[in-house]
Amino acid sequence: MNATVSPLNPVIRLICPSDSIAELTLLLRRAYKVLADMGFNYTATYQDEATTVRRIEGGECYVMADGAALIAPFIGTITLYRKSKDSACLEPWYARPEVASCAQFAVEPRLQRQGLGTKLMEFVEHRASELGATEPALDTSEGAKHLVRFYMGRGYRVVDTVRWEGKTYRSVILSKGL
């Protein structure tokens, strides 16, 4: 399934073994830098390549690339998990059978606010439905008001809060009925 937005002609696809984990990791760090500058220590603000690999294992990692480019750099990404994104996850909402969670959602900073993030979210919500989920869910810092507004504007609602170990902030868990 591909998604297209003019004028970039982005294509959403599963990450391939030949894709650069280094490039993906750098995209995540660039996209999350604004959050690090706000004082939030999201894992994506500092993760290394091994952490990126660990975080996409057990999920479906999608990348958005510019389909018009011969060698397309990643311009966005999101990872979907049909089960909890972390087998040691103690958050009950993510363990529910009807819930699919997503994480590592990022768009290249210079391309943000052009609808690319919306296309990634639409794609992953559709994919979650294909996998039998009726509730896509995610979490973000409650202090990242712009992100909470973005998700709530897409129909997500706050279902819980959690303080993840080692984080400088409390997260809200947001979920959306499909």
Give the pLDDT score at 33: 98
End-to-end Cα spacing for the chain: 19
Give the pLDDT score at 2: 46
Class of domain 10-133: alpha beta
pTM of the model: 0.90
Give per-10-residue mean pLDDT for the chain (178 aa). Answer: 56 94 96 97 97 95 80 85 64 91 96 95 98 97 97 97 95 97
Give the pLDDT score at 70: 46
Give the pLDDT score at 73: 78
C-alpha–C-alpha distance, residues 109 and 124, integer Å: 20
**Burial class for 31, CB neighbours closer than 10 Å (0-12, 13-18, 19+):** buried
C-alpha–C-alpha distance, residues 149 and 112, integer Å: 15
**How many CB atoms are closer than 10 A to CB 121?**
20
Give the pLDDT score at 87: 47
